[in-house]
Amino acid sequence: MELIDGNKIAADIIAELKTEVTAFTGRKPCIVLVRVGEDPASVSYVKKKEKTAADIGIISRIILPSATITQADLEKLIDDLNADSTVDGILVQSPLPKHLNEPAAFRRLAAHKDVDGFHTLNIGKVAQEDDTGFVACTPAGIMELLARSGTDLKGRHVVVLGRSLIVGKPVALLALQRKAGANGTVTICHSGTKDVASLTRQADVLIAAIGRAEFVTADMVKPGAVIIDVGINRVPDATKKTGYRLTGDVHFSSVSPLTSKITPVPGGVGPMTVAMLMKNTVKAYKAHAS
- Per-residue b or e along 255-279, where b marks 16 or more CB atoms closer than 10 Å to that residue's CB: bbebbebbbbbebbbbbbbbbbbbb
Active site residue 195: no
Q: Provide the pairing of β-strand 59-63 with 185-189.
A: unpaired
Please tell me which residue in 5, 88, 93, 177 is annotated as part of the active site: 93
Amino acid at 287: A
Please tell me which residue in 5, 88, 114, 116 is annotated as part of the active site: 116
At residue 60, the 3 state secondary structure works out as strand
Distance CA 82, CA 111 (A): 9
Active site residue 93: yes
Give the number of other CB atoms < 10 A from CB of residue 11: 14
Q: Contact, 168 vs 214, CB < 8 A?
A: no
- Per-residue b or e along 135-148, where b marks 16 or more CB atoms closer than 10 Å to that residue's CB: bbbbbbbbbbbbeb
Active site residue 116: yes
Please tell me which residue in 49, 113, 169, 283 is annotated as part of the active site: 49
- Catalytic residue positions? 49, 93, 116
